[in-house]
A and B are shown apart, each in its own frame.
Chain A
C-alpha cells in the first residue's frame, strides 16, 4: 500500500527528459547523409515488404533453369515443360524444383513440389507465394 502510494512520485522523479546533445547529433547526422536513416531502416525489412513482380519471378526462374547442366538454354521458354520440352527425367525435375526453392528461399511441401513439372506451374507457384524473396 505504501509502495503503491509512492509509485507516482518515483515515476515523476526518474522520467528522463530528451538530451539537447542527442538532438544536435541527430540533426547533424540527418544533414550530412540525407535519407541515410530511412535507407538503413528499410534494409532488414526489404525482403518481405517488396513483393516480387511476375516479370521478376519469370526472369529469375529462367536464369535458374538455364544454368542447369542438363538443359539446353536455347530451348528454355516461359511455357516449357520440364520433361516434354527440355528433355529432363523425373529426378532431374526434382533437382530443378529444388534449385527454384533455393533461389527464392522457399520451402515447398513435398507433395506440392512433386506436382510442379513445367515452367508455368513453377512461375505460378512462386508468383503467388507471399514469402518468396
Chain B
C-alpha cells in the first residue's frame, strides 16, 4: 500500500516535470526558429524526441532521462527570448506608469516665475 502510494506520487511528479520541460523547450524552439515554417519542423523533431521514451516504465530510468533532457535544455536556452510587450522584461513594461500618489502636476504654462 505504501509502495503503491509512493509509486503514484513519484509518477505524478515525473509527469509534471516532463510537461514543464516540454513546454519550456517548445517555447525556446520558437525563439530560435522565429519563422513558422522552420518552427513546425523543429517542433515536430522535439516531439519525436519525447515520444521515443513514451513507454519507459522503470522509475529510475525515467528520472535519469528527465535529468539528461533538462541538462540538454539548459544548453539549448535562448539568450534573448521573445517576451510579450506588457510582461516584465517586455518593451512596454512600466512605460507611462501612473504618477505616484501625492504628486501633482501644475500647468502654469510659463507663468511660474511671474
Contacts and interface: CB of A to CB of B under 8 A. Distances in A.
* A and B assemble together: yes
B22 A94 contact: yes
Contacts, number: 40
Interface in A77-118: 90-91, 93-95, 97-98, 105-107, 110, 113-114
A8 interface: yes
Interface in B17-55: 18-20, 22-24, 26-27, 43, 47, 50
A94 to B, nearest CB: 5
Given A8-B114, A98-B27, A114 B83 contact: no
A94 B15 contact: no
B16 A114 contact: yes
A94 B84 contact: no
Given A107-B83, A107-B84, A94 B19 contact: yes
A71 interface: no
Interface string B49-66: 010000000000000000
A8 B20 contact: no
A90 B18 contact: yes
Interface of A: 4, 7-8, 11, 15, 90-91, 93-95, 97-98, 105-107, 110, 113-114, 131
Contacts of A114: 16, 19-20, 23
Q: In terms of DSSP, what is the predominant structure of the interface of chain A?
A: helix
A15 B110 CA distance: 9
B87 A91 contact: no
Contacts of A8: 113-114
B83 A95 contact: no
Residue of A15, A91, A95, A106 most packed against chain B (CB within 10 A): A91
B33 to A, nearest CB: 13
A90 B43 CA distance: 16
B24 A91 contact: no
A110 B25 CA distance: 12
Nearest to A102: B30
18 contacts: A8-B113, A90-B15, A91-B18, A91-B50, A94-B22, A95-B26, A97-B23, A98-B23, A98-B26, A98-B27, A106-B84, A107-B83, A110-B20, A110-B23, A110-B24, A113-B23, A114-B16, A114-B19
Contacts of A7: 113
